[in-house]
Amino acid sequence: MTNYNEKPLDSASLDAGAFSTVLSDYDFYLFGEGKHWQMYEKLGAHFRIVDGVVGVNFLVWAPNASNVSVIGDFNDWDSRRNPMRKHYPSGLWEAFVPGVSEGANYKYRVESNGEITERSDPIGFFAEQAPKTASVVVNLDKYQWNDGAWMESREKSASQWERKPISIYEAHLGSWLRSEKTPDKNPNYREIADQLVEYVKKLGYTHVEFLPVAEHPLLGSWGYQVIGMFSVTSRYGRPEDFMYLVDKFHQNNIGVILDWVPAHFPKDGHGLRRFDGTALYEYEDPRLGERHDWGTLVFNYSRNEVRNYLVANALFWLDKYHIDGLRVDAVASMLYLDYGRESGEWLPNRFGGRENLEAVEFLKELNVQTHSKYPGILTIAEESTTWPGVCKSVSDGGLGFSMKWNMGWMNDTLRYCREDPIYRKYHHDQMTFSFMYAFSEKFVLPISHDEVVHGKGTIIGNAPGDLWQKFALARLLYSYMWAHPGKKLLFMGCEFGQWKEWNFNESLDWGLLKYDDTHGGLQRCVTDLNRIYRREKAFHDLDFVWQGFEWINCKDWEESLFSFVRKAEDPREHIVVVANFTPVPRRKLVGVPANVDYQEIYCSDAPYYGGSGVGNGLVTIRDVPWDDRPQSIEVLAPPLGVSFFKPIWKE
């Protein structure tokens, strides 16, 4: 194996421009066409043996620069030592520097129109910790992966993912758990790995989703203003440490999803903004290229090279870090030219419309390439409008995403739950409306970090009533969510009822779990919901088609009660769901699909979860027509509770 840390020659002892280029004519062709999907294998800083010499090859795109040099601690940050040569007409600048070791810091010194700036590498694979801004030379190929079984299984089952349970634990790595001895210090990827993996596994989630882990200059942005698209943030360790974390999840049969931000980027001077003295990565016109409400710049999706940069970045995370899915942030802001803009602040497309046609084509290309090259991965759109066909295949005219966040369900449901139970009957339609469009897309039901910040409060904090009612409502909300068609996502801390809004700079309030009947009970409730969700096909088999759901009674607004059936392909495996959104137990007749007895397999009001113990056990079928069905069961709907009933089939 080649030792790339060898230093056979000093970095200043040879003319770096005298070495052969690593680029082929095909590379230039693909880059110009905007289809060099593995451009990260050539651009950036790579250990190479060129003309028999060991060193690092640097390659960067800056077509309008007059001079570019690579500077670093290996050449005393002297721009005269390693000037780069320009390849025409691609605008790629290249230099091979012998003797550079892993861990070396570097930047590009870019000169354009007499202005000189020092820039981080747009395809840098690692970076110094903020506020320092240099890129760091690393070898991403030295980690030995141990997740072969997971990766093989993911590909083999790629065509069946829609019918599998997907329950996602959304987490922020810097604030999930911090050491009590050093609460102001970020944890390391490896330090957190064993505890986080074990916790997510114990709670029964199928996936974990991380808020952005790409390098970002402002911690307070939570990672959504990315400065290093190809660099895993150094806040929590090195690339191989993050690989270890992903690997650990895979070895425990848990998928890893990343929040990914191709919509915009910050204006920091060492980043992409006017990288070569011109609007290279962004639109020149601020009516297209600036996002005033976020203080960021918009990627120029009309440029082949920029679209290539973003698609290749998505493929990079799937390739080098074995990521299983990308949740694409702020898709609506990409789709609409007038998003967040007043009249006169935006430019229409060539047909006079408000759609960003270039962004649409980029998203289609993104989904075609990611799914074709990595079967079994997921792409998830955070898209809050009624844009049609977000999850329809590109060949059928859609955008090609695997799934879409159901923001409408989230807003309506949380608004309904905040109402005093006395008044919920006047808002009954907020709960039934989601079923009007539940199968128009392939939805994820999200209760995400966005719902516990910026003064919105928390799930427990917003629940009306006394302490018992607050926790009963949280159990009711999650139970209803897990029974509702669609995959699931819950933000960390919500599973045990954190009172405080999420603070990115503090650990979750794990001490609350000492209150076993309340916080501990809620955590056990979520654990059992995941267990039942994975076990019972009715809750995931037909999640995205209307055949998987049927109302029993959606009109009982006076008593704020909902009953419905979740169904699997095998009709014998159905589950009857009864949800009572008032704090009063209600004895009800419920029409059922089968002429058999039913067993209550779950009740959110169980004492095990901190509930009052109102339940049913075995319920006997009655020849009493009800809810337009020939037979029914009589159930006691628990206060602020949900019950699941499974048919008992006699052999």
Q: Single out the catalytic residue among 170, 329, 383, 412.
A: 329
What is the residue whose two structure tokens read 């603070």?
A: 503
For residue 30, how far is the Cα from the chain centroid? Answer: 29
Please give the DSSP secondary-structure letter assigned to residue 345.
S
User: Alpha-carbon distance 314 to 378, whole Å?
Assistant: 12
Q: Would strands 105-112 and 135-136 be described as parallel, antiparallel, or unpaired? A: antiparallel
What is the residue whose two structure tokens read 């895979």?
A: 250
H helical segments located in 286-433: 286-289, 304-320, 331-335, 357-373, 407-418, 428-432
Does the annotation count 382 as an active-site position?
yes
Q: How far is CA 590 from CA 598, 599, 624, in A?
A: 11, 14, 10
Question: At residue 317, what are phi and psi to the nearest 5 degrees?
Answer: -65, -35
Q: Does an H or E element contain 198, and which?
A: helix 189-203
CB 56 within 8 A of CB 104: yes
Q: Quick one: which of 121, 329, 300 has its CA closest to 213?
A: 329
User: Alpha-carbon distance 390 to 394, whole Å?
Assistant: 9
CB 376 within 8 A of CB 155: yes
Does the annotation count 329 as an active-site position?
yes
CB 155 within 8 A of CB 168: no
User: Alpha-carbon distance 234 to 242, whole Å?
Assistant: 10
Q: Which residues is 328 bridged to in the sheet?
A: 260, 381
Please give the DSSP secondary-structure letter assigned to residue 519.
I
User: Alpha-carbon distance 208 to 246, whole Å?
Assistant: 10
Q: Single out the catalytic residue among 121, 147, 276, 382.
A: 382
User: Alpha-carbon distance 438 to 192, whole Å?
Assistant: 37
Report the first-to-last Cα separation within the chain, whole angstroms.
63
H helical segments located in 76-122: none
Phi-psi region of 449 (alpha: psi -120 to 50; beta: other; left: phi over 0): alpha
User: Alpha-carbon distance 493 to 258, whole Å?
Assistant: 19
Question: At residue 579, what are phi and psi to the nearest 5 degrees?
Answer: -125, 130
**What tokens appear for 389 in the block?**
């066909």
Q: Quick one: which of 549, 583, 573 has its CA closest to 563?
A: 549
Q: Which residues are catalytic?
A: 329, 382
